[in-house]
Amino acid sequence: MPRPDISLVSPAYRESKNLPVLYDRIAAVMEKLGRTWEWIIVDDHSPDETFEVVTELATRDPRVRGVRLARNYSSHTAITCGLHHARGTCAVVLAADLQDPPEVIPELLVPWEAGAQVVWAVRGKRLGEKRRTLFFAKLFYFFVRNFVGMKEMPATGADFFLLDRRAIDGFCQIGETNVHVLALITWMGFRQETIVYTKQARLHGESAFNFEKRMQLVLDCVTSFTTRPIRAMGLVGFVVALAGFVLLPVLGMEYSLFGLAAAYGGVALLARVPAADGAHSRWNLVATAVFVVALALF
């Protein structure tokens, strides 16, 4: 089967009402472009009739291909799955909820044809979004850009984007699943360009991207793309160990003057100081070590 010019990839969760509308709009845009295309819809194990609609569209038009995940993962896992199935010279990832208008696709193609390997559609405006959602989105991307260190990532985020075939192949070779797709693509270092568009309001339904999934995404970014938390914990461990050895003579003196109970009380006080669980474990280890050494020396 010949490779299509463009692979469209859409993660879908409870989008049974939106998919037929999106199909009509995609077909109209691609007909004007005169490009061969395929549309890969990855159903993130929706509880409604989403996959039945996908099956119906695929039966009607062989350019539509459907994948259903065995359980509900996340939109980023669904995107990863879709990119692994993409056969096009380039791939455009867009939401199935009609917030990413397919009419923007021709604008994404312009920088790509000029040599860009990644083209982000950056949100200029976000229509119909709650203030809380906008606040957390800004906070997340500020965190990723400044704490994780990915300055190249668009400041307002971009989950509507185009990847060149080389970028698709590079992404798929990495083999990550629990990862922030945008962060991974940014980290790979391909040549990037941006365009600006207005993210539309949802036509049907509500976002399933809840607080728990947002926090999981933050953790995935932190654990996958930066060693700063590990270095911070290493520094905490070093400081605690140093403090333990500094206090060792004091505890030894308490043992010699006031007995074992007083020395053990000082150690127990050390163990209660830290607030974080990881730091608490390090304090306990150091405190136990100091206590044992104190018994050995005195």
**Regarding predicted confidence, which is higher, 202 or 62?**
62
- What pTM did the predictor assign? 0.68
Whether the pLDDT of residue 89 is over 90: the answer is yes
Tens digits of residue pLDDT in 19-46: 999 999 999 999 999 999 999 999 999 9
Q: What is the pLDDT, as a whole number, of residue 180?
A: 75
Domain 6-226 listed as CATH 2.60.120.20: no
Beta-strand pair 118-126/161-164: antiparallel
pLDDT band per the 50, 70, 90 thresholds, residue 68: very high
pLDDT band per the 50, 70, 90 thresholds, residue 213: low
**Regarding predicted confidence, which is higher, 294 or 101?**
101
Tens digits of residue pLDDT in 119-173: 999 887 765 566 666 566 666 666 666 666 666 666 666 789 999 999 999 999 9
Q: Where do the structural domains in the chain lie, given as residue ranges?
A: 6-226, 229-297
Whether the pLDDT of residue 75 is over 80: the answer is yes
- Please state, rounded to an integer, the average pLDDT across all residues of the chain: 77
Q: What is the pLDDT, as a whole number, of residue 106?
A: 98
